[in-house]
């Protein structure tokens, strides 16, 4: 009886090990997170697996280790979707560029991914897209964010575990799940990324229905739940402290850092205004400017520029069609600009095109600049009654519940 039990146990172990090795080999061959060199082709170009999109924060963190870029773009989904690889390569004198932007990222995550990239790569130039909601201290990092996956901790001390990445990509339930989906074609090949972190295609132009859907999320959650604050949940910091650490790290490493405030559509600024957050929006810009100038004096270096593409321009005031049959040239919805506008943004920051779009903030012009935005808002309100009514209806509906 004991001998039979021994045979059963041995067979069980052999079968289990065989299945485990088979699963590892299957995951390695399919490479669902595009970390082992498997090439997938879509419309004649090489793209990452759809599993990379499903586990974006893991995939991009690993990609930094492998690609070791010299130039990175950081920011939210606005930076992730709004720039094309072609534009980046056109304006930057290197092909070693990586778009390290993530949808929904907050300013703390921006800091942590910058630290990760600097620890692993010869970073020379960084572009960081700044969005007001990123500085809402009441918004914690998303559940998919993992401190342990990054090369250093918040104090820049080594912390990464190679075995953790190995388990995540070859031995985890997610690895098997995504491998099966990719192998069987049961995944979305329309939402994939290029190997350099850029989206494989532009978003379509928007219309009023898409705008309202986007704005509703900001009215009912992003800006309001919890109440907007710059103080972090633990009450120990403000989100500006993380911004300051970004500036300090760049000065210490002699990185060419350029901040830019994203050029969302004017209706996005109306959401901020009608929610009663306009004063905080102005304070946000003033405080970031003050920090860049304070740190520049501390390090005896030039202040890092903040290009303000927000506000009211011929781009951000583009008419929003009431029908889905018409598309927009510059926007896919209220929050996100299209890649044609991203091309103009890069041109402005690289070539310093002299126009009113993308003013570099300074202590000499900040008062006049903010006053001008207020005046332009009044003009926009007077000339866009339907757009204003759309936002008011969303806010009124929120107040009733």
Q: What is the pLDDT of residues 14-26, one digit of tens each?
A: 888 898 899 999 9
> What's the pLDDT at 356?
78
Could you give the CA distance from residue 134 to residue 244 in angstroms, rounded to a whole number? 14
For 359-394, write each residue's pLDDT tens digit: 999 999 999 999 999 999 999 999 999 999 999 999
DSSP state of 331: B
Per-residue model confidence (pLDDT) at position 354: 62
* pLDDT reading at 162 higher than 60: no
Residue 242 contacts residue 111 (beta carbons within 8 Å)? yes
Confidence of residue 340 (pLDDT cuts 50, 70, 90): very high
Q: Which pLDDT band holds residue 134 (cuts at 50, 70, 90)?
A: very high
338 or 4: which leads in pLDDT = 338
Tens digit of each residue's pLDDT (9 = 90 or more) over 169-198:
998 888 999 999 999 988 889 899 999 999
Cβ atoms 86, 60 nearer than 8 A: no
Per cent of the chain over pLDDT 90 is 82
Which pTM does this prediction carry? 0.95
Neighbouring-strand partners of residue 129: 260
pLDDT > 80? residue 56? yes
Buried-state track 95-130, b at ≥16 Cβ within 10 A, e below 16: eebbbbbbebbbbbbbbbbbbbbbbbbebebbbbbb
Sign for the CA dihedral angle at 287, 315, 344, 358 comes to negative
Does pLDDT of 46 surpass 80? Answer: yes
Residue 249 backbone dihedrals phi, psi, to 5 degrees: -60, -45
Q: What is the pLDDT of residue 13?
A: 87
The Cα 108–Cα 271 span in angstroms is 24
Residue 226 has pLDDT above 80, yes or no: yes
Q: What are phi and psi of 278, to 5 degrees?
A: -60, -40
Domains of the chain: 36-165+189-399 (3.40.50.1110)
Mean pLDDT of the chain: 93
Residue 16: per-residue pLDDT:
84
Lowest mean pLDDT among 17-26, 203-212, 328-337, 377-386: 17-26
Please choose, from the candidates 94, 50, 55, the residue with its C-alpha nearest in 3D space to the C-alpha of residue 73: 94
């Amino acid at each position: 009886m004991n001998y039979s039990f021994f045979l059963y146990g041995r067979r069980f172990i052999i079968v289990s090990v065989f299945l485990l090795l088979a699963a590892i080999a299957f995951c390695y061959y399919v490479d669902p997170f595009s970390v082992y060199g498997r090439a997938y082709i879509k419309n004649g170009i090489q793209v990452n697996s759809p599993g990379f999109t499903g586990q974006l924060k893991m995939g991009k963190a690993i990609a930094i280790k492998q690609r070791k870029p010299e130039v990175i773009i950081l920011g939210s989904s606005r930076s992730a979707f709004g720039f094309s690889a072609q534009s980046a390569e056109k304006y930057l004198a290197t092909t070693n560029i990586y778009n390290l932007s993530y949808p929904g990222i907050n300013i703390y995550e921006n800091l942590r991914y910058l630290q990760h990239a600097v620890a692993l790569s010869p970073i020379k130039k960084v572009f960081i897209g700044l969005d007001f909601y990123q500085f809402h201290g009441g918004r914690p990092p998303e559940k998919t964010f993992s401190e342990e996956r990054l090369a250093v901790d918040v104090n820049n001390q080594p912390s990464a575990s190679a075995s953790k990445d190995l388990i995540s990509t070859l031995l985890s339930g997610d690895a098997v799940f995504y491998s099966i989906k990719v192998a069987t074609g049961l995944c979305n090949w329309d939402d994939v990324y290029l190997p350099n972190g850029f989206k494989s295609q532009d978003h379509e132009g928007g219309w009023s229905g898409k705008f309202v859907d986007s704005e509703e999320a900001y009215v009912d959650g992003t800006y309001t739940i919890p109440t907007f604050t710059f103080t972090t949940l633990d009450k120990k910091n403000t989100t500006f402290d993380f911004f300051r650490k970004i500036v300090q790290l760049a000065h210490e490493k002699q990185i060419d850092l350029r901040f830019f405030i994203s050029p969302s559509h004017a209706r996005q600024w109306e959401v901020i205004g009608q929610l009663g957050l306009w004063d905080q929006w102005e304070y946000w810009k003033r405080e970031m400017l003050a920090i860049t100038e304070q740190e520049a004096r501390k390090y005896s270096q030039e202040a890092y520029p903040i290009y303000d593409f927000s506000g009211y321009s011929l781009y951000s005031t583009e008419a929003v069609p009431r029908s889905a049959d018409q598309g927009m040239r510059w926007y896919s919805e209220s929050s996100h600009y299209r890649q044609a506008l991203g091309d103009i943004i890069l041109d402005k920051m690289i070539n310093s095109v002299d126009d009113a779009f993308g003013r570099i903030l300074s202590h000499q012009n900040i008062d006049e600049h903010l006053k001008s935005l207020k005046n332009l808002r009044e003009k926009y309100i007077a000339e866009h009654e339907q757009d204003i009514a759309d936002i008011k209806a969303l806010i009124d509906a929120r107040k009733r519940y």
